[in-house]
């Protein structure tokens, strides 16, 4: 039996040394140490041995098992080292290769203009409000003193979804939504940037979708001079300290009186040029004192409070600010155009 054990040990060690990978090593483990292996068999047969022989053979069997186990362990470490070594070899990094350039994006010029305008008004105590682009006929028209069949509805050709739901044609519905939410509380002092939609054929100066910023102030004792002062402060910060503004009488159903507001031409500084059509002035927004009916419909007492409102086109301001000649550039995602705004 001693010879049997010695032979078994030598054979097992030889097989283990010959193993080329983990699979073969595991096979060897099962073969020599497994429940059905020769060592288990020998140990099982110990009962038949004499009392003197039993401890000697038992000790020897244990030594053989220990020798096989430690050989297995060493071989396992060796194989693992080999695998790691191979992996390290195949994964070498060539530090002399040139780096891959990272392309940084930048904010869209319209986003930049919106943020700049927001900052100016926030500094004057305004909050930024938002409203849905899919709007009800009520908020888009009726709550702004434009009842059904009112001729002024034709001023804005609309995309209707149903009889009562449409894509908002301006950001003015946010005026009514905000006042309703505030439930008669003053002051109301908001601006609202957002996309608006009109049935227009797209060309260099028109787009069926464009961006507006609405403004609304409601409080006790708000006057036309507050509107003028606010807009002048805005124009100076947006276009420069030398800016002047002028108000021309106009009509909007939701304001009375209404005005169109011009800034002195940013190109020629009021002298007259091609951009301002030799007038020295550029129209940038519509404004006025909030119509008493609009205040009443949204829950404000027009005997106690007054307000002013304005609405401007963001694209128009961006076109002027950056000297862009075609509004369609804003929507075409052409990187050659957009990349020019990475540093402004
Ligand atoms: N909503 C108007 C438009 O889209 C712009 C406008 C004019 C808004 C006068 C106002 C305002 O708040 O007071 O043409």
The predicted pLDDT at position 331 comes to 96
Q: Which atom of ligand 1 is nearest to the CA of 171?
A: 1
Query: Does 271 share its domain with 131?
Result: yes
**What integer is the mean pLDDT of 127-143?**
97
The predicted pLDDT at position 318 comes to 95
Nearest CA to ligand 1 atom 6: 311
For residue 189, give the 3-state DSSP assignment: strand
Domain stops at, among 45, 61, 90: 90
Residue 158 CA, ligand 1 centroid: distance in Å:
15
CA distances in angstroms from 295 to 176, 180, 186, 193, 205, listed in the order given: 8, 10, 12, 21, 33
Task: Return the exposure string of 257-296: e unless at least 16 CB atoms fall within 10 Å of the residue's CB, then b.
Answer: ebbbbbbbbbeeebeeeebbeeebbbbbbbbbbbbbbbbe
Whether 174 shows a pLDDT value over 80: the answer reads: yes
Query: Does 152 share its domain with 38?
Result: no
Percent of the chain with pLDDT over 90: 66
Q: How many helices (H) and strands (E) does the chain have?
A: 11, 9
- 95 in any annotated domain: no
Q: Which atom of ligand 1 is nearest to the CA of 215?
A: 12
For the range 77-82, what are the long-range contacts, defined as Cβ-Cβ under 8 Å and sequence gap of 24 or more? 79/19, 79/21, 79/22, 79/25
Q: Which atom of ligand 1 is nearest to the CA of 214?
A: 12
Residue 25 CA, ligand 1 centroid: distance in Å:
82
- 336 in any annotated domain: yes
The predicted pLDDT at position 218 comes to 98
Q: Bridge-partner residues for 189, per DSSP?
A: 217
- Best probe residue, ligand 1, of 252, 255, 308 (max atoms within 8 Å of C-beta): 252
Q: Average pLDDT over the chain, rounded to whole?
A: 93
Nearest CA to ligand 1 atom 12: 310
How many other β-carbons are positioned within 10 Å of the β-carbon of residue 344?
A: 10
The predicted pLDDT at position 131 comes to 98
The predicted pLDDT at position 344 comes to 66
Per residue in 278-298, pLDDT (tens digit) is 999 999 999 999 999 999 999
CATH of residue 236's domain is 3.30.930.10
Q: Which residue has the higher pLDDT, 11 or 142?
A: 142
Query: Does 139 share its domain with 53?
Result: no
The per-residue DSSP string of 87-132 comes to HHHHT---TTSPPPPPPP----HHHHHHHHHHHHHHHTT-EE----
Per residue in 38-92, pLDDT (tens digit) is 888 877 888 888 888 888 888 888 888 888 999 999 989 999 998 999 998 888 8
The predicted pLDDT at position 272 comes to 94
Query: Does 61 share its domain with 114?
Result: no
Query: Does 78 share its domain with 118?
Result: no
- Best probe residue, ligand 1, of 121, 222, 253, 287 (max atoms within 8 Å of C-beta): 287
d(CA 177, CA 9): 89
- Best probe residue, ligand 1, of 286, 287, 288, 294 (max atoms within 8 Å of C-beta): 286
Q: Domain count for the chain, please give it.
A: 2
Residue 173 CA, ligand 1 centroid: distance in Å:
10
Query: Does 183 share its domain with 43?
Result: no
Q: Does the pTM exceed 0.75? A: no
Where residue 280 falls (left for φ over 0; alpha for ψ -120 to 50; beta otherwise) is left
Residue 92 CA, ligand 1 centroid: distance in Å:
65
Query: Does 84 share its domain with 128?
Result: no
Q: Which atom of ligand 1 is nearest to the CA of 155?
A: 14
CB neighbour list of residue 343: distance below 8 Å, 6 or more residues apart: none
Q: Counting every residue, how long is the chain? A: 344
Q: Which residue has the higher pLDDT, 19 or 128?
A: 128
- The interaxial angle of helices 224-239 and 109-123, nearest 10 deg, is 130
- 100 in any annotated domain: no
- Best probe residue, ligand 1, of 311, 313, 315 (max atoms within 8 Å of C-beta): 311
Q: Which atom of ligand 1 is nearest to the CA of 308?
A: 13
Query: Does 76 share its domain with 135?
Result: no
Query: Does 165 share its domain with 71?
Result: no
Whether 305 shows a pLDDT value over 90: the answer reads: yes
Q: List residues near ligand 1 (CB under 6 A).
A: 170, 172, 214, 252, 255, 286-288, 309-311
CB neighbour list of residue 169: distance below 8 Å, 6 or more residues apart: 140, 156, 157, 158, 196, 197, 198
CA distances in angstroms from 10 to 4, 6, 13, 18, 69, listed in the order given: 10, 6, 5, 12, 13
Q: Which atom of ligand 1 is nearest to the CA of 288?
A: 13
d(CA 282, CA 193): 21
Domain ranges, residue 46: 2-90
Residue where the block lists tokens 């006025």: 288
Query: Does 45 share its domain with 150?
Result: no
The predicted pLDDT at position 309 comes to 98
Query: Does 81 share its domain with 230?
Result: no
Per residue in 252-280, pLDDT (tens digit) is 999 999 999 999 999 899 999 998 999 99
For residue 38, give the 3-state DSSP assignment: helix
- 99 in any annotated domain: no
Whether 152 shows a pLDDT value over 80: the answer reads: no
**What integer is the mean pLDDT of 226-243?**
96
Q: Which atom of ligand 1 is nearest to the CA of 196?
A: 4
d(CA 25, CA 258): 91
């Amino acid at each position: 039996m001693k010879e049997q054990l010695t032979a078994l040990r030598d054979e097992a060690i030889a097989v283990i040394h010959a193993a080329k990978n983990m699979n073969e090593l595991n096979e060897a483990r099962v073969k020599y140490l497994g429940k059905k292996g020769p060592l288990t068999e020998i140990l099982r047969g110990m009962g038949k041995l004499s009392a003197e022989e039993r401890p000697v053979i038992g000790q020897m069997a244990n030594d053989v098992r220990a020798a096989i186990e430690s050989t297995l362990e060493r071989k396992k470490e060796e194989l693992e080292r080999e695998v790691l070594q191979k992996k390290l070899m195949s994964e070498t990094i060539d530090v002399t290769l040139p780096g891959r350039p990272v392309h940084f994006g930048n904010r869209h010029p319209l986003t930049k203009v919106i943020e700049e305008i927001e900052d100016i008004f926030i500094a004057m105590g305004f909050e930024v409000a938002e409203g849905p682009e899919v709007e009800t006929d009520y908020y888009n028209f009726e709550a702004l003193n434009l009842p059904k069949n009112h001729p002024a509805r034709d001023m804005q050709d609309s995309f209707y979804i149903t009889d009562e739901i449409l894509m908002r044609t301006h950001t003015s519905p946010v005026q009514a939504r905000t006042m309703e939410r505030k439930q008669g509380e003053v002051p109301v002092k908001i601006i609202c940037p957002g996309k608006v939609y009109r049935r227009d054929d797209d060309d260099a100066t028109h787009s069926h979708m464009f961006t507006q910023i609405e403004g609304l102030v409601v409080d006790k004792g708000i006057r036309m001079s507050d509107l003028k002062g606010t807009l002048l402060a805005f124009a100076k910060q947006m276009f420069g300290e030398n800016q002047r503004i002028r108000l021309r009488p106009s009509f909007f159903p939701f304001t009375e009186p209404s005005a169109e507001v011009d800034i002195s031409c940013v190109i020629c500084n009021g002298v007259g040029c091609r951009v301002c059509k030799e007038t020295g002035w550029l129209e940038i927004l519509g404004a006025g004192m909030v119509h008493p009916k609009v205040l009443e419909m949204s829950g404000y007492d027009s005997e106690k409070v007054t307000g002013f409102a304005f609405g401007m086109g963001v694209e128009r301001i961006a076109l002027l600010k950056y000297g862009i000649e075609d509004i369609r550039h804003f929507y075409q995602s052409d990187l050659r155009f957009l990349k020019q705004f990475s540093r402004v």
